[in-house]
């Protein structure tokens, strides 16, 4: 099901959009400010974003700028007021795909949404980007971000992280991780897994408040949903 994020601080308008998009069988989530939207974008994958420019706190433009650093693929349609022509232009420069001037007709919005969705291959969306609690990995560019901080990993650290993210909620012991990430030909000590988990944690977790990789005592390692 196509999942659309509505970022709009006018709650009434947000609810109307939710209702109208619901009639068209789109699944929707609402964020009433930029910060809330940014957080939602860290933990969930959306197929399209409707983004109001004038938002309290983090503005729509700031959100757009930060989000496009992590994700270039998800289409974004700006919702602008009539007197925000300048913002509209810079919004397109920042990577928005389209814009609509308020007030707009629902039919026009739906047509714009369909046009954007036609241009993206739905299967790609979920595969190209892995996200987990503020951490995002772009599988085509290999860019990694936690919040909006870029993280540099070595190829082995990257492979280990991607393997755990792709197999969320499963626990792997050292032998399994060696087989999957290092390959069967690796003849060294399984301690290398612990060493690399520590390297990874230093880079992706240490500067932040929540832990991405969990140790399951006596078993191995996992990345679990819903634990922070």
Q: Which stretch binds Ca ion (CB under 5 A): 3-11, 13-21, 112-120, 205-213?
A: 3-11
Q: How far is the CB of 10 from Ca ion (least distance, A)?
A: 6
Contact by Cβ (8 Å): 171, 217: no
Q: Which of 33, 47, 52, 84 binds Ca ion (CB under 5 A)?
A: 52
CB of 30 to Ca ion, least distance (A): 13
Other beta carbons within 10 Å of 102: 15
Cβ-closest position to Ca ion: 54
Q: Are 27 and 3 in contact (CB under 8 A)?
A: yes
11 vs 24, which CB is nearer to Ca ion?
11
The C-alpha atoms of residue 84 and residue 91 are separated, in whole angstroms, by 10
CB 88 within 8 A of CB 102: no
Neighbour tally for 191: CB within 10 Å? 9
How many Å apart are CA 17 and CA 103, to the nearest integer?
12
Q: How far apart, in Å, do the first and last CA atoms of the chain sit?
A: 27
Shortest distance in whole angstroms from residue 90 CB to Ca ion: 17
Q: How far is the CB of 205 from Ca ion (least distance, A)?
A: 35
- Closest to Ca ion by CB, 55 vs 164, is 55
Q: Which is nearer to Ca ion, 83 or 152 (CB)?
A: 83
Q: What is the smallest separation between the CB atom of 9 and Ca ion, expressed in angstroms?
A: 5
Which residue, 60 or 220, is less far from Ca ion as judged by CB? 60
User: Residue 196's CB: how many other CB atoms inside 10 A?
Assistant: 19
DSSP secondary structure, 28-75, as one string: EEEESSHHHHHHHHHH---SEEEEES--SSS-HHHHHHHHHHH-SSS-
Binding mask 6-45 for Ca ion (x = CB under 5 A): ---x------------------------------------
Site residues (CB under 5 A) for Ca ion, limited to 54-113: 54
Closer to Ca ion at the Cβ: 84 or 128?
Answer: 84
Closer CB to Ca ion, 81 or 117, in the complex: 81
CB of 126 to Ca ion, least distance (A): 29
Rg (CA), the chain: 20
Provide the binding-site residues for Ca ion, judged by CB under 5 A: 9, 52, 54
């Amino acid at each position: 099901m196509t999942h659309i994020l509505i970022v709009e601080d006018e709650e009434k308008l947000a609810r109307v959009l939710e209702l109208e998009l619901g009639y068209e069988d789109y699944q929707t989530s609402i964020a009433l400010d930029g910060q809330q939207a940014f957080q939602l974008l860290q933990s969930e994958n959306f197929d399209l974003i409707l983004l109001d420019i004038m938002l309290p706190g983090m503005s729509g433009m700031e959100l757009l700028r930060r989000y496009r650093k992590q994700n270039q693929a998800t289409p974004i349609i700006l919702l602008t007021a009539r007197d925000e022509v300048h913002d509209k232009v810079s919004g397109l420069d920042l990577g928005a795909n389209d814009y609509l001037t308020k007030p707009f007709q629902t039919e026009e919005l739906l047509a714009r949404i369909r046009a954007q969705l036609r241009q993206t291959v739905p299967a790609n969306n979920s595969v190209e980007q892995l996200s987990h609690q503020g951490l995002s990995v772009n599988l085509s560019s290999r860019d990694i971000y936690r919040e909006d901080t870029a993280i540099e990993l070595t190829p082995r650290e990257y492979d280990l992280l991607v393997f755990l993210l792709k197999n969320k909620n499963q626990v792997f012991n050292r032998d399994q991780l060696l087989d999957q990430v290092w390959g069967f030909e690796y003849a060294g000590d399984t301690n290398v897994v612990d060493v690399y988990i520590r390297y990874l944690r230093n880079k992706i977790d240490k500067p932040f408040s929540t832990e991405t990789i969990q140790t399951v005592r006596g078993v191995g390692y996992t990345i679990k949903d819903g634990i922070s």
